[in-house]
Amino acid sequence: MDKPIGVMDSGVGGLTVAKEIMRQLPDEQIIYFGDLRRCPYGDRPLEEVRQYTVEVADHLVSRGVKMIVVACNTATAAALSDLEDRYDIPVIGVINPGARSAIQSSNNQDVIVLATNATVNSGAYRDAIHHINGGFRVTSLACPKFVPIVEELRYKDKVVVRVALHQTLKGLLGTSADTVILGCTHYPLLAGEIRDFFGGRKNVIDSGYETAREVSSIMTYSRSHAAPGNRKTHVMIVNGDSSRFEYILGDWIPFIDYKIEEIDLEAY
């Protein structure tokens, strides 16, 4: 089925998931929606995030996507069940794949979740992990400094990143947890520094790989893979100014053909 896959996020973070989908499924076309005008979602009330998520998803559905990937942990926590009820196409979030991956990686059933305020307050990762294995210890920490570092293009400034990591994570250095979940899709751009901060002693989980694998499994089951060799230009929709978005896109996924559309979602 040569319809595109819709991928959505509050900003650029979901590109980490889109990149993995492109790597695993190179024949699929992506329509990506970055809601930069209203980014970040992580400090907003969950009901407001739910409203924004539905608006973005409705726009993707209007573009004829065959599946929606909610590549934002906060949006997944706020609205995944609403989207599943609203549409007759598959809707995938990033929390359950990330939780499963952490369970598989941990040897001592002790994990840390680094996430936005909204995701931490929702308890979504704790609930997802305990739904599978109630014996896990889950420590969640809000990291409000991390998303602005990525969105403001400071993620390559090692001094800025290391200061933010030390200020935010210093209380976790002595924990026995052997696995860290990056509970926000912006955080993989800081993954190397986070791994180094813990001295390489903790597994660092990026849910992008598992999310892409789930996308592939669902399409295999429904026989909805795109025809091989029929690659199309990816579409990047930006609600707001696309200049910062395009810089990170070129830096993070330099190998793709794409076109960018700037829109004003609030005008729709």
Helix, strand, coil tally for the chain in percent (to 5): 50, 20, 35
Specify the pairing of strand 258-263 against strand 203-205: unpaired
* Phi and psi angles of residue 194, each rounded to the nearest 5 degrees, phi first: -65, -45
Which of 79, 103, 84 has its CA nearest to residue 9? 79
Contacts of 240 (CB under 8 A, 6+ apart): 35, 36, 37, 262
143 assigned to active site? no
- From the list 72, 194, 215, 238, the catalytic residue is 72
Backbone angles phi, psi at 264, to 5 degrees: -115, 95
Cα angle vertex 204, ends 247, 219, to 5°?
70
Torsions phi, psi for 240 (to 5 deg): 130, -160
Residues shown for the chain: 268
Amino acid in the structure at residue 69: V
Cα gap 164→143, rounded to integer Å: 9
Whether 184 is a known active-site residue: answer: yes
Catalytic option among 184, 189, 205, 249:
184
Reported in sequence order, the residue ranges of 4-121 that DSSP labels E, i.e. its strands, are 5-9, 30-34, 67-70, 91-93, 110-115
- What residues form the annotated binding site for substrate? 9-10, 41-42, 73-74, 185-186
**Residue list for the binding site:** 9-10, 41-42, 73-74, 185-186
Phi, then psi, of 254 in degrees rounded to 5: -75, -10
Which pair of structure tokens corresponds to residue 88? Answer: 């007759």
Residues designated catalytic: 72, 184
